[in-house]
Amino acid sequence: MDRHRDKADQKFQRKALQVQEAQSRVMEYAKPLGTEEVPLSQCCGRVLAEQLRAPHPFPAFNRSGMDGYALRAADTLSCNAGEPVWLEVIDNIPCGAVASAEIKEGTAARIMTGAQVPQGADTVVMIEITESREYDGKTYVGLRKPQQPGSNITPVGFELQEGELVLPAGRTIAAGDIAVLAAFGFPVVKVQRRPKVAVFATGTELLEIDEPLQPGKIRNSNSPMLEALVREAGGEAVMLGTIADDLELARSRVQMALENYDLVITTGGVSVGDYDIMGDLVREKSGEMLFNKVTMRPGSVTTAAVRGASCCLHCRVIPEPAL
C-alpha cells in the first residue's frame, strides 16, 4: 500500500508539507477585502474596520448612584445625633427626567438611581439614612450626620471623556461591545467585509441529503460541514452544489466561481483515482500550486492553488479537503 502511494506521489509530484507550513503558504495570499457598513443589530461577530471614539462624555451628566436626596454637603455640616438638619424637598427627579429647580441653601431634591443630579447639589444621600416630615404643607428631609461632597455621584465623563477610544480597529465585536456602541449612539458600524466562499462537492456518486439512497451512491455530507466551518470562521458560504466527474464541466464551473467569489473550496476528486478530476484541474498551468499534500490524517491529499494572484484584495485559493 505504501509502495503504491509512493509511486502515486512521484507520478503526481506530491511533496507533503507540515500543516503549519501549508497554512502559512495559504495565508500569504490573505488580504483585507474592504469594508462595509452594517446595522448595529447585525455587527456581532464582525471585525471592526475603524477605531471608534466617544462622541460625548460618558456619563453625559452627573449621575445619581442611589435612590435618595440630592443636596449641598455644606448644609449638613451642623448635623449631630441630637439635632438633625432639616432641608425642604423642592423637587422629585425620576430617572430620565431633568430637575425643575436649582438646589440652593436649605433645599434638597428627591432623586432616583441613574437620574441627573440637579444644578447646585454636590452630594446624594441614600434614603435609608434620612427621615422625613410634613410641615405647613411642605415636605422636609432630615439628616443626623454630615455628608461629604461628591458622595454617590458619578461625575460627567467618569467612564470615558469625549474623544477617548471606545473600541479599537480590528476588534471582533462581542455582545458586550454592542451595548457600548448603543450607549454612544452608533446605529451603523463599519466592519471588514466577510469573504464570500464558494463551496463545491465533486463526484458522480453524490446524492443530496434529501434524496433516498441509491445503489453505489452516497449523500453529500462534506458540503454542509464546510458550510458550517466557513460560517464559524466568519465567512459567507455560497453553496454551489455538486460537480460530476467531468473535467470540462469542472473547469468551467470553478472558473466561474473564481471570477465571482473570494475563495473556492471543493471537496473530493483530488486524489489519484481515474476520476479524480480536481487533481487534474489544479495541476494545469493556469495558476500557482501552493501544495498538494499535507502530513495529516485524514485529508493528506489536501491541495491548494492560486489563480489571479495579481488581484491584491482577493486571493483565489482552492483548498481540497478530503474525508
Confidence of residue 322 (pLDDT cuts 50, 70, 90): very low
Q: Which of these, 224, 199, 197, lies nearest to 210 by C-alpha position?
A: 224
Between the CA of residue 307 and those of 189, 280, 310, 316, what are the distances in Å?
33, 15, 8, 5
Q: What is the mean pLDDT of residues 235-245?
A: 87
pLDDT the model gives residue 291: 81
> How many of the other CB atoms lie within 10 Å of CB of 237?
23
> Is the separation of the CB atoms in 148 and 73 below 8 Å?
yes
Q: Determine the 3-state secondary structure of 206 from DSSP.
A: strand
**Cell digits of residue 38:** 452594517
**pLDDT tens, 135-187?**
999 999 999 999 999 999 999 999 999 999 999 999 999 999 999 999 999 99
Side-chain-facing half-sphere of 49: CA atoms under 13 Å: 15
pLDDT digits (tens, 9 = 90+) for 5-63: 554 455 456 688 898 998 898 888 888 889 999 999 999 999 999 999 999 999 999 99
How many whole angstroms separate alpha carbon 225 and alpha carbon 313?
27
| Cα gap 126→65, rounded to integer Å | 9
Asked if residues 125 and 69 have their Cβ atoms less than 8 Å apart, the reply is: yes
Query: What is the per-residue DSSP string for 217-250?
Result: -EE--HHHHHHHHHHHTT-EEEEEEEE-S-HHHH
From CA 315, how far away is CA 323, in angstroms rounded?
Answer: 25
Q: pLDDT, tens digit, for every residue of 54-105? A: 999 999 999 999 999 999 999 999 887 678 899 999 999 999 999 999 999 9
Task: Out of 77-86, 136-145, 213-222, 314-323, pick the least confident.
Answer: 314-323
User: Smallest Cα–Cα separation from 117: which of 97, 132, 131?
Assistant: 97
Reply yes or no: is the peptide bond before residue 59 cis, omega within 30 of 0: yes
Pairing of the two strands 68-71 and 304-306: unpaired
Question: Where is pLDDT greater, at 174 or 309?
Answer: 174
The lowest-confidence range among 139-143, 224-228, 304-308, 314-318 is 314-318
pLDDT mean over 233-238: 92
Which DSSP string corresponds to 176-190?
HHHHHHHHTT-SEEE
Which pTM value belongs to this model? Answer: 0.74
Q: Give me 58's grid cell.
A: 460618558
Chain CA centroid to CA 168, Å: 12
- Choose the weakest-confidence range: 104-113, 117-126, 294-303: 294-303
